[in-house]
Amino acid sequence: MTLLEARGLTRHFGGLKAVDGVDFDLAEGEVHALIGPNGAGKTTFVSLLCGRIPVQSGVIRFDGADITRLPAHSRVRRGIAYTFQITQVFANLTVFDNVALAVQRRGGPLDGDTRAALARVGLADRADQRAGTLSYGHQRLLEIAMGLALHPRLLILDEPTQGLANAEIDTFKALVRQIVSDTTVLLIEHNMDVVMDLAHRITVLNFGEVLSSGTPDAIRANPAVQAAYLGG
């Protein structure tokens, strides 16, 4: 079943065609990776999907409903959660309170949902720790917990392994495999080992357009993708 689809999605900034007529389909229950060179339009594209940037033309449908003109907070209520490329935690609040803010935004049971989200990412024992004192890797996990606390149908992760140590990347991959049982994941990621290991399908953006979309094996073997991004 298609959970999200975009048709003709376009966003230009002056003469820069950041996203230029993109068609995109996301199936429910998959890990779908979005890759491409720096400046390819990946972050702009997902910002259009989650409502942080308005669409100039094109249509976005989520679970069959047109959400093209909905504001970001309405899309969150419909089940789209987006974690940012740069960690967005409140450094002076506790780990618990960071997640509780997300739960409160959704209107769920504060204590139960917060502790469940922290347990899911392995931070339950750090609930009372001030978020700013966490390691970088733990802050990224906290950010994912804040997204999971919204009970999203779609979780968009923007460069989640950036700056993580190898052991932390292994923890992240195990977490994604666990959450995809009930949450579709759209992953924007430069670490190709992570992409090839986790993704069911991959879409490659280049100069704001879709260069290719397919399975990891198909993407790895695509000469155009090799030339533009994989260096093959």
* CATH, domain 2-79+152-230, list 3.40.50.300, 3.40.50.1700, 2.40.50.140, 3.30.565.10: 3.40.50.300
User: pLDDT 10s digit of each residue in the chain, 232 long?
Assistant: 999 999 999 999 988 999 999 999 999 999 999 999 888 999 999 999 999 999 999 999 999 999 999 999 899 889 999 986 555 789 999 999 999 988 887 766 777 889 999 998 889 999 999 999 998 888 988 999 999 988 899 999 988 888 888 888 998 999 999 999 889 999 999 999 999 999 999 999 999 999 999 999 999 999 988 887 766 5
Q: Domain limits of the chain?
A: 2-79+152-230, 90-150
Q: What is the pLDDT of residue 87?
A: 56
Q: What is the pLDDT of residue 104?
A: 82
Give the DSSP letter string of the chain. -EEEEEEEEEEEETTEEEEEEEEEEEETT-EEEEE-STTSSHHHHHHHHHTSS--SEEEEEETTEE-TT--HHHHHHHTEEEE-SS----TTSBHHHHHHHHHHHHT--HHHHHHHHHHHTT-GGGTTSBGGGS-HHHHHHHHHHHHHTT--SEEEEESTTTT--HHHHHHHHHHHHHHTTTSEEEEE-S-HHHHHHH-SEEEEEETTEEEEEE-HHHHHH-HHHIIIII--
Count of CB atoms situated within 10 Å of the CB of 108: 17
**CB-based contacts of 172, cutoff 8 Å, min separation 6:** 140, 141, 144, 160, 161, 164, 194
Length of the chain: 232
- The first and second tokens of residue 104, run together, are 């409160």
CA distances from 39 to 9, 101, 115, 138 (A): 17, 32, 38, 28
Paired strand residues for 213: 203
Count of CB atoms situated within 10 Å of the CB of 155: 24
Q: Give CA–CA dist 170/144, Å, rounded.
A: 15
Q: Give CA–CA dist 214/202, Å, rounded.
A: 5
